[in-house]
Amino acid sequence: MIIFVIVIPLITVFWILFPINPFPRNVPGYDEISDQTLINRTKDLQEVKALIYNYPNGSIYVDRVEHFGVEYHLYKTSDWAMLKVYLNDDGFPTSTMITCEGARHELHPPGDLAQIARIGRGHLCS
């Protein structure tokens, strides 16, 4: 009886004063993951490899403001392409979008083999 009268109210008061999350999140949020980690998670996608093969020069940008993702800005002598890999809140790829001199091509989900084949042959952006 003493347990119910003293201990349980003490535990309740302690829990209110010092809240404890019984289900902590073990995965870091998107703002806690380094840029290099996010780039490493996307650089082995077939879309990225195929586009970098056709557009060997460029830069990589991690977007945490507008749409969470990794952008590959690529170019060769006379034309350019931009590949954006959209990420979920845990920093893993969900979809991709390729923009080639103004024309957009969305690939859902990443790994659309028909689109990748067109990129690899240089047909998607030409």
Q: Is residue 113 situated within a structural domain?
A: yes
Q: How many domains does the chain fold into?
A: 1
Q: Residue 126 above 80 pLDDT?
A: no
Q: What is the pTM of this model?
A: 0.65
**CATH number of the domain bearing residue 110:** 3.30.70
Look up the domain containing 99 and give its range. 29-120
Average pLDDT over residues 10-28: 66
Q: Is residue 16 situated within a structural domain?
A: no
What is the distance between the alpha carbons of residues 39 and 34, in angstroms, rounded to a whole number? 9
Q: Is residue 105 situated within a structural domain?
A: yes
Average pLDDT over residues 31-56: 86
Q: Is residue 14 situated within a structural domain?
A: no
Q: Is residue 68 situated within a structural domain?
A: yes
Residue 102 in 3-state DSSP? coil
Q: Residue 21 above 70 pLDDT?
A: no
Average pLDDT over residues 87-114: 73
Q: Is residue 13 situated within a structural domain?
A: no
Average pLDDT over residues 25-35: 72
